[in-house]
Amino acid sequence: MENFLEKILAEKQIEVAEMVMERPGKVREVKGFIERLRENPEILQVIGEVKRASPSLGAINMTVDVLEQATSYAAAAVSAISVLTDPVFFKGSIDDLRLVAQNVDVPVLNKDFIIDKKQIARAVNSGATIVLLIVACLTEKDLQDLYDYAISLGLEVLVEVHNAEELAVAHRINAELIGVNNRNLKTFEVSLQNSLDLVALQESGRFYISESGIKSPVEARKVAHDFRAVLVGEALMKDGKPKAAAKGLQVKRHVD
């Protein structure tokens, strides 16, 4: 079985070694993602993703007009836009993120395999307001260090987990935004059950997002009760009407 995560991290080490450490500027001013979640508890929020390709699927939408896709998401009132910036495996670039951030008035997530402060500083300077930290990619100490650094700059941080052990780590570092990825990063197989299995371990005062495997309102409704948002890439990238598709995922939640 091919281990995608190992391959990606090996390539990421090379990429980061060649990056310069930028002096981080101010985070782009926009109403924050957490604030948007707090204001809309009765509706499942959507993070629409700009994603050309993936290691498991290959090309998803290589000819996408990044700006058109992002503005379609914004017009659908998504609560954030995720932009893949990994060039090798996902065919993205930091220029994609910069273009989106300059043209939308919503939070933008730098979706990448972040292993170094260099990437976080670059994200800020490119217009990101949220960065992704993946528990599986880092030691707990490095995760905590990068989390604290990002927060100190004024960024929001989405901490991604895949199982109960990683969820416990996310709780320990005091993550407020926690994404449960339904995709196994080693095999890239997807199961929505991954999110449902971790519901019993959720803690109050945190915001949980279900990531991957959300293809339609059917899947959205399955997670709506226990998750505040869904992160959706492939389904929206393949849909000819991304605005309508993103709107359709904003299903009602049962607020206790």
For Cα atoms 28, 34, 40, give the angle at the middle one, nearest 5 degrees.
120
Question: Catalytic residues, which ones?
Answer: 49, 51, 111, 160, 181, 211-212
Residue 36 φ/ψ, nearest 5 degrees: -65, -35
Take residue 56 and report the two structure tokens written for it. 């498991």
